[in-house]
Amino acid sequence: MFKRWKIVVVKFLVNTIGRTSDGIEMSFKYGFISGKMLDYIYANRPSGKFLIGKWIDRVYLSHPGWRVIRERKDNLVRALTRAVELTLKEKRRAHVLDVASGPAQYIIDVVKRFPSEAVTAVCRDYDPKWVREGQSKAAAAGLTNISFAQGDAFDANSFKDLSGTQDVAVSSGFYDWIVDDNLIKTSMKIIHDILRPGGYFVFTNQSGHVDLDMVEEIFVDFNREPLRMKTRPAELINGWAREAGFEIVDTAADDKKHYSVTLALRK
């Protein structure tokens, strides 16, 4: 009973005074799990309407759930950087593909660490507005070796032009909101076929959450539908990757073990 009343009170506060926080307002406008929302969390710069809005935003961004998301991003960048470095030890150029990128700030952060002639990246997303925003971000960063295009991560035909050619594939923050396990297995099979033999697959997974019932009750997804997420043990999703034809190289997690980042090799 106490938990139910807590959810009711927090939901009321979030939907009233909480909307003065830019982060909370963005979570309703674009979706709690959207790439744009995550970029805001990564940046970690509080803002809002009036002093109260900025203060609420600071509290919001300091929530333990967002702190571990920022740890996930650090682990993701490390795994991606390692995958690119390992590729460049084998060949002169590394081709990176993100199958559901959003604006792809983490891809930009990784690619700009390397000479433009050494690394290229292709970012696909189902929503054209994230394709456009990603293009703008890459242009603002002066990166001409990143391209964005619309694509369906569950449709192998969306990637047939890349089949067997990519060195590194990425799925970040994507599997968290896929409640159907079979869709994740389908995605992994598609990614396996996109990668060249010896290519790397970097993927994230949500193993736990500070208060999943609370966020699902209050927030919405990127379609403005009730938010639904699913937690899975890292061992389970790594097992699906093995079934798809990958060898697990390394798995990192935050100290709360809420988010895992796995680096896998296509055998």
Domain boundaries of the chain, sorted by first residue: 2-63, 66-266
Task: Spell out a b/e string for 2-36, using b for 16 or more CB atoms within 10 Å of the CB, else e.
Answer: eeeeebeebeeebeeebbbbbbbbbbbebbbbbbb
Alpha-carbon distance of 138 to 213, in angstroms, equals 36
Q: Fold for domain 66-266?
A: Rossmann fold (3.40.50)
Give 68-121 pLDDT, tens digit per residue.
999 999 999 999 999 999 999 999 999 999 999 988 889 999 999 999 899 999
Per-residue model confidence as pLDDT tens digits over 176-211:
989 999 999 999 999 999 999 999 999 999 999 988
Rounded Cα gap, residues 158 and 96, in angstroms: 16
User: At how many degrees (to 10) do helices 234-243 and 181-194 cross?
Assistant: 50
